[in-house]
Chains A and B, each alone.
Chain A
Amino acid sequence: MPADFISSLFVFILAAFLGIELIKRVSPLLHTPLMSLTNALDAIVVVAAIIIAGRHESRFSTILGLVAVAASFSNMVGGFVITDRMLHMFKTAKAKKP
């Protein structure tokens, strides 16, 4: 078993519990923004894609990496843009009510 396996597993388990705790109390009103924000956050996989593409070890892996960079970066940008727009809508809707 690789030496860093245990520490990776450790991080993984802690992250799982942290994730549960973080989103457990999100109000139902915010579920849709939460979905699109996590969508933007999981685009952090772009980091791995950049490294694979940037290592330039073979043409095939570079092309796959570049497609992955484009796909996940579009998630990141789009996810933040739409979450921002959604929350702005909340704000204006609330301001109009009273």
Chain B
Amino acid sequence: MNPASLQQLIDFSYIAAVIGFILALKWLNSPVSAMRGVLIGEIASAVAVVATLFDPQVTHYKWIIVALIIGAGVGVPLGMVKMTAVPQRTALSHAFGAMSAALIGVAEYFVGTPHISKFQMGEIGLEVVIGSLTSRAASLPPASFRKSCRSAPSPIEGKTSSVFPPWA
């Protein structure tokens, strides 16, 4: 396939993924269609990730595949936590997401450093600041949740906090 049509195909995949995301959120509005929403969200994410792997800018695959496997290896156990630990899990997950946004900003700055326009610089700066702030702030809630658990007279006190990451 020639590069131009490959690029077109990738762009169309991104548009399809965006439509999938919109439908996923829309279908989550009602419990009847919620499962369908999750399914289309999964499909859309998969389409976007696979399309990106075909991007001509991406030349080195080995470590990306390793990182994807590590991510899946961390993600599945994080998805299997007890339902009572969901708020903490979501907070931790937000911390991860914000951290990756901040890291992308730093990497982008590092790669393009002499040729970054003022506008891009402002954008990257904002990305890194918000990303790092969110990452730090989102890793705080588990600690406060734990505190509230401790003050409650609960016989399963030790068990409820077993899912917390050690650094929180």
Contacts and interface: CB of A to CB of B under 8 A. Distances in A.
Q: Do A and B bind each other?
A: yes
A87 B35 CA distance: 7
Main secondary structure of the interface of B (DSSP, over half): helix
Contacts, number: 230
Interface in A61-93: 61-62, 64-87, 89-91
Interface residues of A, number: 70
B74 A55 contact: no
A81 B24 contact: no
Nearest to A82: B79
Contact of B83 (A43, A70, A89): A89
B55 A75 contact: no
Given A39-B94, A46-B100, A62 B45 contact: no
Contacts of A89: 83
A78 B89 contact: yes
A2 B24 CA distance: 33
A54 B64 contact: yes
B164 interface: no
A44 B48 contact: yes
A68 B34 CA distance: 29
A8 to B, nearest CB: 10
Given A32-B86, A52-B104, A65-B103, A78 B93 contact: yes
Contacts of B103: 49, 64-65, 67-68, 71
A74 B75 contact: yes
Interface of B: 17, 21-22, 24-26, 28-31, 34-35, 37-38, 41-42, 45, 48-49, 52-53, 55, 57-61, 63-64, 66-68, 70-81, 83, 86, 89-90, 93-94, 96-97, 99-101, 103-104, 106-108, 110-111, 117, 119-120
Interface of A: 1-2, 5, 18-19, 22-23, 25-27, 29-30, 32-58, 60-62, 64-87, 89-91, 94
